[in-house]
Amino acid sequence: MRTIARFSICATILAVAATPFAAFAVNTPLPPKSVQGQPIDTLKDVVAPEPDASARAAITSARKAVGRELNAVKVRDKIYAAEKGDLAAQVWLGSYYFPSRHHLGKAEAFRWLSLAAQGGDTASQVLLARVYDGGHGVARNRDLALRWYEKAATLGNSDAQAELCLLYVLGEERARDIKRADSLCWLAGTAGGGKALYAQGLIFEQGLEGSPNLSHARMQYEMAAQRENAEAMDRLGALSATPEERAGWFRKAMASGSLAAVEHMAAIYDGQKDVIAATRLYRYGALRGSTVAQAWLDAHPAALKALPPMLNLNNLPKKFAFVRLPPQNGLPTVETDFWDYMAQADDFYPDQAANDDVEGQSDVVCHISAQLTVTDCLPVTEEPFGYGFNTAILRFLDRDIIVKVDRDDADQPLVGRDFEITFNWVLD
C-alpha cells in the first residue's frame, strides 16, 4: 500500500509497539466451537474481531521492518555484484541512491553513478550530470554537468539531447548555436519530453532562424504544455490575446512550478491595484528564491506588513483544522481530521516513484478563502525532483476541501491566511 504522512506521523508509527508480526499469528486463539450456545457450522459464520489501534500500528511496523530487511538483502547483493564490476548492478545502485535526501545516500549515489557513467550507461550519465548540476553530495560543477550531458547526448540519450538543445537556444552557458540546437531537438523528439518542444518554440518566437513565427511558436508550446512543461505554459500566457486566457495559462504554469509565471501573475495583480493578491504572490515568489519578488517586497514594506503571517499546518494543533468533503453520489457530507484526510492520498502516489521504490517530500503553499475553502495551492520544493510528488499532491488538494474551525481562536484565525504544508510520501 502507498500512503502519505507527516514527519511526526511517520515517527510515531515506527516507534509504536515493535511486537513481531509473527506473534499475532501464533498467539491468535482459534475460533470457538459455538457462540452463545449456537454451533458454528461454517467458517463464514466466524467474524474476526477488529484489531485495536495499537495492534494495527504494531502490524504496520512489523510489515515495514520485514520490507526493510528484504530491501537490505537486495541492496547487499547488488553491492557485492557492483564491486566486482557488474555494470547493471552499478546502474541499479546509482538509481537507488540518487533520490536520497541523506548525505550518506548522496555520497553512495555519486559513487555508483560515476562507475556506471564511466561504464557507458547513458541514463547514469544523465543522473550524474544532475548530481553535479544540483550539488547533490558533491560541490556543484556546472561544467562537469554539461560534459556528461554531452557524453550522454552523443550516445543517443533523449533527455540529454533535450537539455543541450535548450542550452544552445538560450546561449547562456554555451554559445548560441541554433543549427546545433535544431539537430539536438530533432534527435530528442517527443522522447525528450516538453523541454525540446519548448526550445523549438523559443526558436520560432524569437525568430532565431528567420522572421518570428508566433503561430508555429504556439504550436510547439502547446505540445510542450501537454507534456507538463511549465516554461511553455508561461510563454503561452505571455502570448495570449485576452486577460482571461493569459491568467489561465499563468495559473497552470505556477501550479507546474514556473517561477517566471509567478512574477508575471503578480505583476498583473499589481497593475490591477489588487495589492493583497500581488503581495501574496510576491511573498510566495520570494519563498521560492525569486529576486524580482524579493525586490518588490523590499520596495513595498507596508503591503507585506499588512498581509497576515503565513501559517504552517505541520505545527497547527488538530483541533483548529478539519476537512469536510462535499456530498458525492448521494452520500452525506463526511467530516474528518485534516491529517486523516491527507492519509487518503495513497491513490495519488506518482507511478514512476512507486515503480522505482522512491519515497519523497512535497512542500506546498495554499490559501484559505473567506468561504473557508482551500484554494490556490502552489508548489514550493520537491525532493527528489522529477518524480512528480508536487504534481500529485496538488492534484489531491484540488478537491473542494473546506476547513472547519471548531472554535474561534484569536491567535490562529484561518480566513484569508496562506499556509505551508510539508508532506512525506512513504511506501509501505
Predicted local distance difference test score (pLDDT) of residue 424: 83
- The candidate with the shortest Cα–Cα distance to 283, out of 380, 203, 193, is 380
142 pLDDT tier (thresholds 50, 70, 90): confident
Predicted local distance difference test score (pLDDT) of residue 3: 47
Contact 113, 131 (CB under 8 A): yes
362 pLDDT tier (thresholds 50, 70, 90): confident
Read off the pLDDT of each residue in 260-264 and give the average, rounded to a whole number.
Answer: 96
Q: Which three cell numbers stand for residue 347?
A: 491513490
Summarize pLDDT for 44-102 with one digit per residue, the tens: 444 445 555 555 555 555 555 555 555 677 788 888 888 888 898 888 888 777 766 56
- Single-letter residue type at 404: K
Which CATH number is 156-257 given? 1.25.40.10
Judged against a pLDDT cut of 90, whether residue 151 lies above it is answered with yes
Judged against a pLDDT cut of 50, whether residue 12 lies above it is answered with no
Summarize pLDDT for 369-418 with one digit per residue, the tens: 887 788 889 998 887 777 888 888 888 887 667 766 554 444 556 778 88
**Distance (Å, rounded) from C-alpha 416 to C-alpha 373?**
10
Query: Where in the chain is CATH 3.30.2420.10?
Result: 313-427
Summarize pLDDT for 287-340 with one digit per residue, the tens: 988 999 999 999 999 999 999 888 876 666 555 555 555 555 665 555 666 667
Query: Where in the chain is CATH 1.25.40.10?
Result: 156-257
**Distance (Å, rounded) from C-alpha 278 to C-alpha 308?**
14
Read off the pLDDT of each residue in 151-170 and give the average, rounded to a whole number.
Answer: 92
3-class SS at 311? strand
- pTM for the complete prediction? 0.70
Judged against a pLDDT cut of 80, whether residue 42 lies above it is answered with no
Cα torsion through 267, 273, 274, 276, rounded to 10: 90
Place of cell 485495536: 52
Lowest mean pLDDT among 8-12, 188-192, 211-215, 253-257: 8-12
Chain center to CA of 337: 23
Predicted local distance difference test score (pLDDT) of residue 428: 67
Predicted local distance difference test score (pLDDT) of residue 9: 32
Predicted local distance difference test score (pLDDT) of residue 52: 54
Report the range out of 10-14, 24-28, 100-104, 208-212 with the highest average pLDDT.
Answer: 208-212
Q: Which three cell numbers stand for residue 87?
A: 555494470
Predicted local distance difference test score (pLDDT) of residue 10: 34
CATH 3.30.2420.10 for domain 313-427: yes
Average pLDDT over the chain reads 78
- The candidate with the shortest Cα–Cα distance to 7, out of 427, 423, 348, is 423
Question: Where do the H-state alpha helices sit in 243-362?
Answer: 243-255, 259-271, 275-287, 291-299, 301-306, 338-342, 351-355
Contacts of 295 (CB under 8 A, 6+ apart): none
Predicted local distance difference test score (pLDDT) of residue 344: 75
Judged against a pLDDT cut of 70, whether residue 23 lies above it is answered with no
Q: What's the start-to-end Cα distance of the chain, in Å?
A: 6
